[in-house]
Amino acid sequence: MKAEELNKAVNGQKCENMPDSIANLNDAYFSAIKDTYCELRYGEAQSADADLFELVVVAAINADPPYVFLGTCLQDVLEGMQAQQAEAAAKDALGPCEEDDREGTAISRLECEDTQSKILTLSGLTSTLRSTVNPWNLFMCKSATCDTDNLNQVLTAIYFDYFAAGGDDAWRTENFTVIDTYTPTVECFYDQIRAPLHDTELYCSGESAPVCNNTKLVEVKLGVDAPFEVAICDDNDCLASVGTPLSVSILADGYGPNPFCLPEEKNYPRELTEVLITYSEKEFNLSDYCSVAAASGRTGRCTTPKSSKSPKSPKAPKLPKGCKKSNKSNKSSKVPKGLRA
Bigger pLDDT: 37 or 327? 37
Over residues 90-110, mean pLDDT: 64
User: What φ, ψ does residue 120 adopt, rounded to 5°?
Assistant: -125, 170
pLDDT at 52 over 60: yes
pLDDT-based confidence at residue 329 (cuts at 50, 70, 90): very low
Highest mean pLDDT, choosing among 4-13, 44-53, 219-228: 219-228
Q: Residue 309: its pLDDT value, please?
A: 46
Pair 204, 294: CB distance under 8 Å: no
Highest mean pLDDT, choosing among 103-107, 209-213, 246-250, 273-277: 209-213
pLDDT-based confidence at residue 273 (cuts at 50, 70, 90): confident
pLDDT-based confidence at residue 49 (cuts at 50, 70, 90): confident
pTM of the model: 0.79
| Distance separating alpha carbons of residues 188 and 197, to the nearest angstrom | 13
Q: Residue 7: its pLDDT value, please?
A: 41
Domain ranges of the chain: 48-96+105-182, 186-298
Over residues 323-330, mean pLDDT: 47
> What average pLDDT does the structure give for the chain?
79
pLDDT-based confidence at residue 304 (cuts at 50, 70, 90): low
Over residues 327-331, mean pLDDT: 45
| Distance separating alpha carbons of residues 7 and 148, to the nearest angstrom | 33
pLDDT at 189 over 80: yes
Bigger pLDDT: 92 or 116? 116
Closest CA to 242 of 205, 279, 286, 196: 279
% of the chain surpassing 70 pLDDT? 74
Bigger pLDDT: 90 or 54? 54
User: What φ, ψ does residue 123 adopt, rounded to 5°?
Assistant: -130, 135
Q: Residue 149: its pLDDT value, please?
A: 92
Highest mean pLDDT, choosing among 33-47, 98-112, 130-144: 130-144
Q: Residue 209: its pLDDT value, please?
A: 92
Cβ neighbours of 170 (radius 10 Å):
10
Over residues 15-23, mean pLDDT: 81
pLDDT at 272 over 90: no
